[in-house]
Amino acid sequence: MRKISKFLLAGAGALTLAGVAVAAADNHHIMNVALPDGSVAQIHYVGNVAPQVVAVPAAEIVPVAIADPFAMFDRISYEMDRRMEVMLQQASAMAQAPVVQGSGKRGF
């Protein structure tokens, strides 16, 4: 008797899950959208409200893979070279400054 009740309980659970799956399948929709190039896109959605679909021309999309990942390194290197040149010019100006009498220090 125990096996029969377990079998009936499992069968009732399976029927419940099947009913939920059928109910969810009824709420699934497919929307066909005509694209500017003549092709058709299928949009799958669940619910009673259709999604908003916007077609963007491919010329406006900038792929991330094409962007140069080392461009920032080039800018940093340029800035470091510029600052080094300024420091070398300051060091050269300090070396050419006249020495102040009696103190042994160079003056500006």
Q: Domain residues of the chain, as ranges? A: 62-108
In this predicted model, what pLDDT tens digit does every residue of 17-49 receive, in sequence order?
666 555 555 677 888 888 777 888 888 888 788
Specify the DSSP element, H or E, that contains 41.
strand 40-46
Helix residue ranges per DSSP H, 27-108: 71-95
Task: List the structure tokens of 81.
Answer: 């070279």
CB 42 within 8 Å of CB 31: yes
In this predicted model, what pLDDT tens digit does every residue of 41-95 receive, in sequence order?
888 888 788 788 777 766 655 556 566 777 788 889 999 999 999 999 999 998 8
Map residue 38 onto helix, strand or coil. Answer: coil
